[in-house]
Every structure is written in C-alpha cells, then in structure tokens.
Structure 1
Amino acid sequence: MTTSLFDLYKLGVGPSSSHTMGPMRAACRFARELESKGELENVNRVQVKLFGSLALTGMGHGTDRAVLLGLSGNEPATIDPAVIGATVAEIRAKKELKLAGIRCIEFDEAQDLLFERGTMFPPGARTQHPNGLRLTAYDRAGNKFDERTFFSIGGGFILEDGMETASSDESEELLPYPFHSAAELLEVARAKGLSIDQVMMANECARLRVHDSSASDAVLETRVSTGIDAIWQTMKGCIERGISTEGILPGGLNVCRRAHRLAERLKEKEATGGPGDPLAPLDWVTVYAMAVNEENAAGGRVVTAPTNGAAGVVPAVAQYYERFVPGADHEGLIRFFLTSAAIGILYKENASISGAEVGCQGEVGVACSMAAGGLIAAMGGTNGQVEHAAEIAMEHNLGMTCDPIGGLVQIPCIERNAMGAVKAVHASRISQSESEEHKVSLDQVIRTMYLTGLDMQSRYKETSLAGLALNVIEC
C-alpha cells in the first residue's frame, strides 16, 4: 500500500486525468530533468509520439495541449486554467515554446507531436499499457541524446517504462497499518479495534511524520484534516462554478451545460412550498455530479476522484451527505474522504483506474464504490457495511465500457457521473439494511472488474472506435 489519500485526490485540470494530466506531468518531468542534468542548452528540438488510446482520443481529450503546456514547465496542480488557452495559442502561433519555462526552442506540432494511431504500444517498451508517450531530445546536429517513455496509468499517475510500480515518496514500512486487500484492511481494523478511517488517518500521519518527527499525533491529524478540507473546498468550488455557468461545452459536439438549468428548476420547486418531493435529494445529487463534470469537460479546475472522467461522483455524494443527511458534520466528512480513499487505493493497487485499460468500470465504477463506502463511514456505519456498500456499487458497474463520442469527456461521461453518484447512495442504503453476511466480497469484485477489463475488446476502452462513439453520428 504505497498510495496516499493525497495522491488519489489531487488537484488538476480537465478534461482527462489520463489524457490531459498524465501527459502534462510526463512532459514537464522530461523537460525539468533535462534542466536538472544541465542539458537544456544542448536541446535544439523535442519530438513527442503518442500511442494507443492517447493517439486515438488525444485530440478530444486535450492531450496535444497538455504536452505543449508540460514541455513549457507547467504542472496540472498549479497551472491557472484561465491562461491555458492563451498559452497554447501563443505556442502555436510562434511555433516555439520555452522548454521547462527557460530555453526557447522551435516546436512545430506537425513534425514534433505525432499521433501514432496505428500503434498500440511504444516500440520496444517493456511496459504494456495503452496510454504511452515517448519524448525525444535532439541536439543541433540532429542527434538523439535523451529519450524517455512514459505511461499515463489513470488518475493523473504516470509510470516510466520498465518501472514495476508508480513511484512513491514513502515506503510502506513506515506505515503502522499497511494493507494490500480489503480482507487485510478489515482484519487490521478488527485486530486493533479501529474503524477504516482511523486506519487511514494513522497511515497518513505516519507519512507526515517522516518530515516532522517531533510533531504530536494531534498536530499531524490536524494537518491531514486540513488537507482534506482543502480538497473538499476545491470540490465544492467546482460544484458552484458548474451550477452557475451556462453555455456550450468546447470540442465541437455542441453539448449544452445543463447543471444550471436543472438547479434552477429544483430551486423553483422548493420555493413554491408545496408538498416535498421525496426524491428531490437525488435530483440534487444529479445536479452536483453533472456540474463537476461539465467543469471538467470545459477544462476547469477539478480534483481527481479517482480520475477526471469520474470526478463528479465523490463530490456529489459528499455534498448529499452534508446537505441532506441529518446530523452531518465536519468529522463525518473527514471519515468520508479517508474511507473512500482506502477503497480507491485498493482498486488502484490491485486492479486499475484507467478507462483505457479496463473501461469506465475502472473510473465511474471505482468512484461509485469509493463514494458508497465513504457515505457509510460518514454516517457512522460499521467497517463491514463500508466493505459491503463498496462491493455492491462496483458489482453493478461491472463491464461498463468507455466509449466517449468524439473522444470528448462529455457523452456519456457527464450523465454517467450522475448515475454513478445515485448508485452510490443506493448501494449505501442497501448495505445499511442488511445484517447477514453477503456472498461476494470487495476483493472478489475488484478482481472480477480487472479481469473483465482485460477481456474487454480495446475498441471499448477509450479508443472511440465502438459503442456510442461509433453509433451516434453528429449531423
């Protein structure tokens, strides 16, 4: 267990964690490491080749823009979404960029950013993942002197070719309660008399203690909670922007933003003071999820949860808890995020959160599972109920394909987040009403999801070659 809550929930920009954030981070790392090795002055040209899903749907996902921004020294967590358009436009107009934000080099996309749509994996790569990119630096004589191959493995995580696992700042040997499966997590919690969120809190504090060994447990817990609060406030800000903004989403599909209109209708119903609609809270869940993913589709600031394409599910359910669950409080939200992160880590480390690898079951399906378990924890449920809710949520997302029309994170992605959020609420309610042992474990459903994803034809895994992407024709 090497992934932190703050690795899983991280700031970024839309529309895709795997196709936008990951390539931006890889390009930025390549440029900055050239700088750190003192080789920037030797660079005359950089060429980037995209493979697999990055090549097939990269244009719709903004991969081309992400590479330009990353080579210019920008990171997804810190770049201002408001300057992205102007920055990219300037690079394209001048056909040059500042490598690592320092050295100006010529960059002609027609020659230097190539979409290898007929090749699934970078030639000669040891790692096999459908989101590959290769960056090559050439000197003034045209000689290649540095070449790196990266894979964007979902959720904004990147992996360099040949590395077995994504890099981690801390060893799990430092953690008081490491776990590698849901069964281990439940057993550790049972043996120590802890809830899942308490296990996660202790592990997150241990990571912080590496950098401040003199801090007390109370101080470290406050720091973790403050970090979670920052994540939640970013999510809430995204919901608010999505609800307040109208217009057409970029990309060419002419998809209208709907969250604002839906929210206004709900407010009108509430203002009449008539008989309350018992399902109105679920209508608000739909609005919250759609608002976030409309912001994501527009390239706005979002939090990976665990990916950009699934970024609306977790905040929608958290907002549902805060607004509609009696007795909701700050401590409940902290439990929600710690517990949902534990579930997300299990999927990331034992299966995949990449739509290009396992389909949308690895994105919206995982987010649904995380939100369902997190909601149980927020409401004070048992560890067993958390595990059951997370299992139910994924069980009914198994086999879900990733078939975005035009390679854009819009149809069916935006509505799919709304459906995933509602499913999460329902899964939590089912688990609360059960008292007997359930037949299917979370570990079993995680394994099933992964194997199902491997069996799924690549046409249905973020390539836009089948499903809705093929059968819905825009006139």
Structure 2
Amino acid sequence: MSSENASQPAEAAVPYFGVFDLFKIGIGPSSSHSVGPMRAAEAFLAELNTADLFKMVTRVQIDLYGSLALTGLGHGTDTAVLMGLQGEKPDEIDTTSVATKLVAIREQKTLNLCGSRSIPFTESTDLLFHGSVFHETHPNTLRFQAFGESTPGTPLLSATYFSIGGGFVVREGDEPGASESPAPEVSFPFSSAADLLRLTRENNCSISQIAWQNELCFRSESDIRNGLERIWNTMQECIEWGCHTEGHLPGGLNIERRAPELYQALIAREAAGTNDPLLVLDWVDLYAMAVNEENAAGGRVVTAPTNGAAGIIPAVLRYYEQFCHGGSQEKRQAFLLTAAAIGSLYKRNASISGAEVGCQGEVGVACSMAAGALTEVLGGTPNQVEEAAEIGMEHNLGLTCDPISGLVQIPCIERNAMGAVKAINAARLALRGDGRHFVSLDRVIRVMKRTGADMSSRYKETSEGGLAVNISEC
C-alpha cells in the first residue's frame, strides 16, 4: 500500500493512539496504579525544573485518592511514586533494585529527589491515602505538592494528575488528550471501526497496513520495526522469566507461582507423546499466566493495553508463532499493528481503565485486540477482523475488577489465561464466516462504555465488592 496514491479522507485529523502508545514497556503490577503514577512523578519533576523551583524544594507530599488509595498498597502505587520521584522511569528501572531502594528510603527517611537532591521524607506524613475521596474526573487521582523552607505551609508547586489506564497520564487543567500523546496528523485518521473498514475498502489494504502508514508519520520504517521487535522481545522475555521463576508472589496471600510447574509438566507430556488434542490450550494458559505472575511480582512487562491484561496478547501471539507456523517478523508486526488499531478505538471511545469501567476495559479489550490481530495474520479479511474483535468484547461485557486484597493476582492471573483462549476462539468463529454479523464493533464499544458507567464502584478496582470481599465459603 502506498500513501502517495492512496485515497485520503477529507475529514480533519482526530486524536490518534498508535502502537507505541498502546504497548509500553514498564513494570508490574499495574499500568494505572504503578506505571501511570511513576510517569506522573516524572512529569512533576519536569515541572519543577521548568519553573526553576527544583533547588528550593525541601519537602514533597503525595496524596492518593479513590482507587489509587483503596488498592494502591496492593498495586504498588506507593513504591511507584517514590521511585518516580527519585528519577526512575518505568521502561528503564532495574526491577531487581526496587526493594533495596525502597528500604533505603524508609530506613533513612530521605528521598533522593531526581537522583540528585536528598530531602527529608516520612512516609506516614508525606504519602497519604484518601480512599473515600473520588475526584469527579477520574477515580485514579494523585496530587504532588512541593514545599520550600521559606514557605513551609504554602506549596511552591502543586499538580494533580489522573492515571487513566494503560500508563496514560493526564494533568488536571490540560485539554482532554493533551498529555496522552495523540498525534496531531496521520495519513489515515479514523475514530470508529466503520471508519477503519472504509479506509481498508478505499485503499484495498489490511488494517495493519493502515496502522503502518499512520506510524510512518512519526518515525522511520527502521524505528518502527525495531520498536515492534523490542516490544515482542520484552514479551518473550517475560514469558521465559515467568516459566522459570519459582516461589511465592508478594503481597501476603502466599500465592505460589504455578507457571514453572505447569511448564515442566507440559514439557514432560510432549516428550511422552501425549495424545491430547487440547494440549495447545494448556500452552496458551501457561504463557498468559507466566506473564501475569511476572507482573504480579513487579517484573518487566508490556502494557497490552494494561498490565492487568498483559498476558493475553503475548500468549495469543506466541500461540500463532508456535502452533500456526507464523514465525515471521512481518506477520508478528502485522499482529501488533492490528491489535493497536483495535485498542485505539477503545482508548478513544470508551476506556481501558479497570477503575473506570471494570475489567471489561482491561481483559475484555485485550481479548478483543488479540482476537482481531490473530484473525488478520491467519488471513482474515478486515470485516472478519472487526467481527473477531467484536466477539472478543461481547463475551466480556460486564466483567468486574475485584482483586482480592488489592493485589493483581486473584482473579487477574487466571483471567488472562481465560481471555487468551477466548480470543483464539473468537478468531476461529470469525474465520468460519464471511464477516457479516449483527452487532458491530462500534456498537459493542458503546455498550461497554455504558455498562462501565452503570457498574457499581465496588466492582471497579476498589476491592470493595465481588471476590475481593467474598473469599470465604458460602
């Protein structure tokens, strides 16, 4: 497909979320509760420097509100903001050093601001949790205040941020989308699945080719390919770490990692020539669980589109490469580009935040993205891709986010395995038809958004309902 002779839409550019917005390399256990707050801390430090206030700071106070306060300890929000204020970045931090750095902050009662300026810090008074206070803009709200020696009661700078899912952060007062890195101009803007399908018809191309042309508006061909390979390599490394790291997950539930034992069992079954036609599904389960056990342990993961749903897309892509004979770089990248195009529709028109719409916005969206992407690389038409994505979400509508003890462990880890298998089945259903179906992807996205709005806050990443409070036998 050539952008020179392709049909260009006349409409004005619309906010665009690309493949590197939907897939970010970060750390566990949560994109909204750890990656986002760490990025917010980074943004606050940048504001201090821009305002030439950094050298005047003698104290910093962090206030967490709503979902960030209610599940922040289990989701590592406290750790994330402290690491962020010390200058760490989600995609660069050495995950093995976090525990040691955290102990140093707490024992020495100091914070090494931006890695260069030591200030006093007492966690009980400088990091505050306000679980009963929900900001009207978004349930994931945090505020940073910097104080100086001359005016200890009046902040030098105060800034409030909203962590809106998938590691995206918006500063209070910014225009909607201003800090979410949407592109001002792309070759083929689309704001709906209907737009996307129209573009593929007008240009006789696939969804991944539309996404590819749009990415070329921001970076070179080699940068795109290298970036996509880095994303996939990080996903692969996460799977491998998860398959080979034994022990118990942190947080107090004493949950034992299951992926290493399952991995060894599957290796043994294959060596024995076990005749089980559904053995492939065990591998898919393994890959999804391996990723999310790594995420729960605070390891390196890729938001896809969130950390809570980080295992689904790697598991389905690994399934494609291992069991569908599709291990080429071109197909791998088409998968990720297609998935991102689908994910951008949810990001633009609904939400990918569990605190805003429940787990349908995390596992449901990831399932939809993976189903559509798998359909494309298996040879499906754009209409079949759209149908697979619709099926993937339709059968996740109403999915609640009710993590036990505020930890991204139960039901999150197994839920990724279920979402990955469901995505594969959605693709198979779509490929058996001709792409015609009754409920459109656009419609199911609107329904998902309304369902999230109707859902009680108890079931939206607050650990105040569902499994989170009903873990004893009835």
User: TM-score surpassing 0.5?
Assistant: yes
AA aligned to 1:78 is: E
| Deviation string, structure 1 residues 418-463 (Cα, Å, up to 9, x no partner) | 0000000000000000126200000000110011001000000000
2: CA distance between counterparts of 1:59 and 1:111?
A: 16
Contact (CA 8 Å) 1:157, 1:166: kept in 2 or not?
Answer: no
Local SS of the residue matching 2:26: strand
Local SS of the residue matching 1:373: helix
Deviation for aligned residue 1:329: 2.5
| Deviation string, structure 1 residues 385-438 (Cα, Å, up to 9, x no partner) | 100000000000000000000000000000000000000000000000012620
Contact (CA 8 Å) 1:5, 1:342: kept in 2 or not?
Answer: yes
AA aligned to 2:288 is: A
Correspondence list, 1:155-234, <5 A:
155-167=166-178, 172-208=183-219, 220-234=220-234
Corresponding residue for residue 304 of structure 1: 303
| Deviation string, structure 1 residues 188-239 (Cα, Å, up to 9, x no partner) | 111111110000000001111xxxxxxxxxxx33331221111000000000
Corresponding residue for residue 215 of structure 1: none
Contact (CA 8 Å) 1:314, 1:368: kept in 2 or not?
Answer: yes
Q: Is residue 84 of structure 2 the alignment partner of residue 73 of structure 1? A: no
AA aligned to 1:222 is: S
Deviation for aligned residue 1:35: 2.2
Greater mean alpha carbon deviation, residues 223-232 or residues 251-260? 223-232
Corresponding residue for residue 387 of structure 1: 386
Local SS of the residue matching 1:302: strand
Q: How many residues align?
A: 457
Corresponding residue for residue 365 of structure 2: 366
Contact (CA 8 Å) 1:385, 1:432: kept in 2 or not?
Answer: yes
Q: Which runs of 5+ in 2 are unaligned?
A: 1-14
Runs of 4+ in 1 over 2 A off after TM superposition: 162-174, 220-223, 326-330
1: CA distance between counterparts of 2:180 and 2:80?
A: 25
Q: Is residue 251 of structure 2 the alignment partner of residue 251 of structure 1? A: yes
2: CA distance between counterparts of 1:252 and 1:443?
A: 41
Local SS of the residue matching 1:174: coil
Greater mean alpha carbon deviation, residues 256-265 or residues 321-330? 321-330
Corresponding residue for residue 3 of structure 1: 17
Local SS of the residue matching 2:189: coil
Deviation for aligned residue 1:33: 2.1
Correspondence list, 1:116-131, <5 A:
116-121=130-135, 128-131=137-140
Contact (CA 8 Å) 2:389, 2:441: kept in 1 or not?
Answer: yes
AA aligned to 1:2 is: Y
Question: Per the alignment, do residues 405 and 222 of structure 1 end up closer, same or farther by CA in structure 2, a change over 3 Å counting?
Answer: same
AA aligned to 1:134 is: R
Question: Per the alignment, do residues 166 and 92 of structure 1 end up closer, same or farther by CA in structure 2, a change over 3 Å counting?
Answer: farther
2: CA distance between counterparts of 1:148 and 1:162?
A: 9
Contact (CA 8 Å) 1:172, 1:178: kept in 2 or not?
Answer: no
Contact (CA 8 Å) 1:332, 1:379: kept in 2 or not?
Answer: no
CA RMSD of aligned residues (A): 1.4
Deviation for aligned residue 1:170: 6.8
2: CA distance between counterparts of 1:301 and 1:65?
A: 15
Greater mean alpha carbon deviation, residues 97-106 or residues 162-171? 162-171
Local SS of the residue matching 2:46: helix
1: CA distance between counterparts of 2:294 and 2:182?
A: 35
Seq. identity, %:
57
Of 113, 116, 126, 1:112 maps to 126
1: CA distance between counterparts of 2:172 and 2:472?
A: 37
2: CA distance between counterparts of 1:49 and 1:472?
A: 30
| Deviation string, structure 1 residues 90-118 (Cα, Å, up to 9, x no partner) | 01111111112221111111101000112
Deviation for aligned residue 1:146: 0.8
1: CA distance between counterparts of 2:434 and 2:468?
A: 42
Deviation for aligned residue 1:168: 5.6
Question: Per the alignment, do residues 71 and 173 of structure 1 end up closer, same or farther by CA in structure 2, a change over 3 Å counting?
Answer: closer
AA aligned to 1:27 is: A
| Deviation string, structure 1 residues 120-159 (Cα, Å, up to 9, x no partner) | 12xxxxx610000011111113122210000000001001
Q: Is residue 285 of structure 2 the alignment partner of residue 289 of structure 1? A: no
Corresponding residue for residue 237 of structure 2: 237
Contact (CA 8 Å) 1:35, 1:100: kept in 2 or not?
Answer: no
AA aligned to 1:156 is: G
| Deviation string, structure 1 residues 311-341 (Cα, Å, up to 9, x no partner) | 0000000000000003542221111000000
Deviation for aligned residue 1:169: 8.4
